[in-house]
């Protein structure tokens, strides 16, 4: 009886038009007590201690200079400590700014500077790789030592009541060279996005146990992280994806919800021992970030239990399309239909709407759009299409697609000149510029080739000066 009453109370809280993430987590801490909230290979955090750990980190962040709206940079492999710092940054009134681990030192320094962070939480592996002088002007805190760094038990950070427009996090785009753009999401955007998702978990009666196996610096991972906690569930955080470990965790934890990118689904399907594991608890599987082949969707539906939802959108927002693959087996070649609250238009190269069924440039708008690119109003403007009739901002999705008679969206190509490998964007021009730096290279071109392991892999072609060049150096 009490459990049902608590769930009804929290359901009502999530139905509100706007709410505070930290407040919801604190309330769940009172309700869930000894239930697990966060797990990784080394550590477990129960709900009864989650709010206290987040509070103590928030206290120390404020004591060491964090101001409202200021970023907290996080760099390292996903872990319980990483998740705690992310949540503490938001609780303290700051902005979580996870940095891409694969970025170059120059890019990382540029992202940290762009974010305005004065704190850098870094794990031991990245600290060793980058050296003690890397971003030495920031307050550097080892992720593995946050328990020693945080304030004493029982302390409380200053009250923080977020404004809907306050920044919640910055997710940096995954460029290969140059400084990636910082995509700013507001508290209102994240609430609209994830309170609704959490509410759907509770209304479906799912015992919410999530397995998050993509990096916490990726927007993809947020679906398996933030709404799970808003629903009072448990998140297992994987540091690095491994088929055997993923399957073992999913079976042992009785995982009910997961998010995987297409290459991860492909690797699981190819794993020789896949059928040896009990995945019967799975109820909801998500996929996003890269093209999801219809044949692979069919195989996943056949071999993995539970619903399969493909999400088509961008970190920046725009339209959100959803395909319930288990409900529409004849539409697996599409990315679904616009979700409630999302709108889609298809334009020609002169920004005129095209007739139904005609391929064109996809643009979209929804309630879950970015506030803009951090410090880049010019790039924000470039990414938008302004409706001349209403003045409303729409996001250019960067894809060519068409809408069928049933309203399902089929992608036919990409307008942006990019390769998507393992769920991340690779710009051919960046790689071509690097190839042109090699001695003897006079022309270079990079294209995407289909890859079973990565979805796509970049393949470079070069023209050498009189056919002479150091091929070994170029290949390296």
**Among the three residues 367, 401, 435, which one is the final residue of a domain in this structure?**
401
- The pLDDT of residue 120: 99
Tokens of 344: 């889609």
Same domain, 228 and 296: yes
167: CB partners within 8 A, 6+ apart = 69, 95, 184, 185, 186, 187, 371
Same domain for 459 and 397: no
- Report pTM: 0.89
The answer to whether position 407 is within a domain reads no
394 contacts: CB under 8 Å, gap ≥ 6: 318, 343, 345, 363, 364, 365, 384, 385, 386, 387
Same domain? For 126 and 182 the reply is: yes
The CATH number of residue 459's host domain is: 3.30.300.30
Task: Note whether residue 35 is domain-resident.
Answer: yes
pLDDT in tens, 362-418: 999 999 999 999 999 999 999 999 999 999 999 999 998 999 999 999 998 777 666
Q: How many domains does the chain have?
A: 2
Six token digits for residue 318 = 């725009």
| Residue 321 sits in the same domain as residue 439 | no
Whether 383 and 452 map to the same domain: the answer is no
Domain presence at residue 416: no
- Same domain for 390 and 332, yes or no, is yes
Q: Does any domain span residue 412?
A: no
- Shortest CA distance to 436 belongs to which of 466, 408, 474? 474
Residue 409 forms part of a structural domain: no
Q: Look at residue 173 and tell me if it is in a domain.
A: yes
Compute the chain's Rg from CA coordinates: 23
**Cβ pair 356, 343 in contact under 8 A:** no
Residues 431, 363, single domain; the answer is: no
User: What count of other Cβ atoms lies within 10 Å of the Cβ of residue 307?
Assistant: 16
Q: What is the mean pLDDT of each run of 10 residues along the chain (476 residues)?
A: 82 97 97 98 98 98 99 99 99 99 95 98 98 97 99 97 98 78 98 97 97 98 98 98 99 99 97 99 97 96 99 96 98 98 95 94 96 97 96 95 96 76 74 84 85 89 78 66
Do 395 and 415 touch, CB atoms closer than 8 A?
no
Q: Which domain holds residue 456?
A: 427-475
Which of 366, 401, 436 lies at the terminal end of a domain, its last residue?
401
The CATH number assigned to the domain holding 225 equals 3.40.50.12780
Q: Residue 419: what pLDDT?
A: 80
Residue 314 is inside which H or E element, if any? strand 307-314
Among 386, 401, 416, residue at a domain's last position: 401
Residue 418 φ/ψ, nearest 5 degrees: -140, 160
How far are the Cα atoms of 193, 368, 399 from residue 339, in angstroms, in the given order? 11, 11, 18
303 shares its domain with 250: yes
Q: Is residue 411 part of a domain?
A: no
DSSP 238: P
Cα(127)–Cα(99) distance, rounded to whole angstroms? 13
Contact between 336 and 132 (Cβ < 8 Å): no
- Which residues are CB-contacts of 301 (< 8 A; sequence separation ≥ 6)? 308, 325, 326, 329
**Has residue 136 been placed in a domain?**
yes
Do 365 and 432 sit in the same domain of this protein? no
**Structure confidence at residue 104 (pLDDT):** 93
Tell me, yes or no, whether 109 and 172 share the same domain. yes
Burial 374-405 (b: 16+ CB within 10 A, else e): bbbeeebeebbbeeeeeeebbbbbbbbbbbee
Say whether both 352 and 228 belong to one domain: yes
Tell me, yes or no, whether 369 and 471 share the same domain.
Answer: no
CA distance 33 to 59: 22
């Amino acid at each position: 009886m009490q459990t049902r009453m608590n769930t009804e109370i929290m359901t009502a809280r999530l139905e509100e038009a706007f709410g505070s993430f930290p407040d919801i987590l604190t309330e769940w801490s009172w309700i869930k007590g000894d239930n697990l909230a966060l797990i990784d290979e080394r550590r477990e955090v129960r709900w009864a201690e989650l709010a206290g750990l987040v509070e103590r980190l928030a206290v120390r962040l404020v004591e060491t200079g964090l101001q409202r709206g200021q970023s907290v940079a996080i760099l390292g492999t996903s872990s319980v400590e990483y998740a705690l710092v992310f949540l503490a940054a938001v609780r303290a009134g700051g902005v979580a700014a996870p940095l891409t681990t694969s970025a170059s030192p120059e890019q990382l320094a540029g992202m940290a500077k762009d974010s305005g962070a004065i704190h850098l939480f870094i794990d031991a592996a990245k600290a060793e790789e980058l050296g003690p002088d890397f971003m030495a002007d920031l307050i550097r805190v080892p992720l593995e030592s946050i328990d020693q760094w945080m304030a004493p038990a029982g302390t409380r950070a200053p009250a923080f009541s977020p404004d809907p427009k306050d920044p919640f996090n910055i997710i940096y785009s995954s460029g290969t060279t140059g400084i990636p753009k910082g995509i700013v999401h507001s508290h209102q955007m994240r609430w609209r996005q994830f309170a609704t998702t959490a509410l759907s978990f509770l209304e479906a009666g799912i015992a919410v146990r999530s397995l998050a196996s993509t990096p916490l610096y990726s927007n993809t991972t947020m679906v398996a992280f933030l709404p799970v906690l808003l629903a009072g569930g448990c998140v297992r955080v994987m540091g690095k994806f491994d088929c055997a470990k993923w399957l073992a965790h999913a079976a042992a934890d009785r995982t009910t919800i997961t998010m995987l990118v297409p290459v991860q689904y492909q690797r699981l399907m190819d794993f020789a021992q896949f059928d040896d594991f009990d995945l019967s608890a799975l109820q909801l599987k998500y996929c996003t970030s890269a093209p999801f082949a219809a044949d692979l969707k069919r195989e996943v539906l056949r071999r993995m239990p539970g619903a399969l939802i493909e999400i088509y959108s961008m970190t920046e927002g725009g339209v959100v399309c959803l395909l319930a693959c288990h409900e529409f087996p004849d539409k697996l070649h599409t990315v679904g239909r616009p979700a409630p609250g999302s709108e889609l238009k298809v334009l020609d190269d002169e920004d005129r709407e095209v007739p139904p069924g005609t391929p064109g440039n996809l643009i979209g708008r929804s309630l879950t759009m970015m506030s803009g690119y951090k410090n880049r109003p010019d790039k924000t403007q470039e990414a938008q299409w302004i409706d001349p009739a209403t003045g409303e901002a729409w996001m250019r999705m960067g894809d060519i697609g068409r809408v069928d008679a049933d309203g399902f969206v089929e992608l036919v190509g990409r307008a942006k000149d990019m390769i998507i490998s393992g769920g991340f964007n690779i710009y051919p021009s960046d790689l071509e510029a690097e190839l042109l730096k090699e001695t003897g290279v006079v022309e270079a071109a990079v294209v995407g080739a289909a890859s079973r392991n990565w979805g796509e892999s970049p393949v470079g072609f070069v023209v050498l000066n009189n056919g002479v060049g150091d091929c070994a150096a170029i290949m390296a």
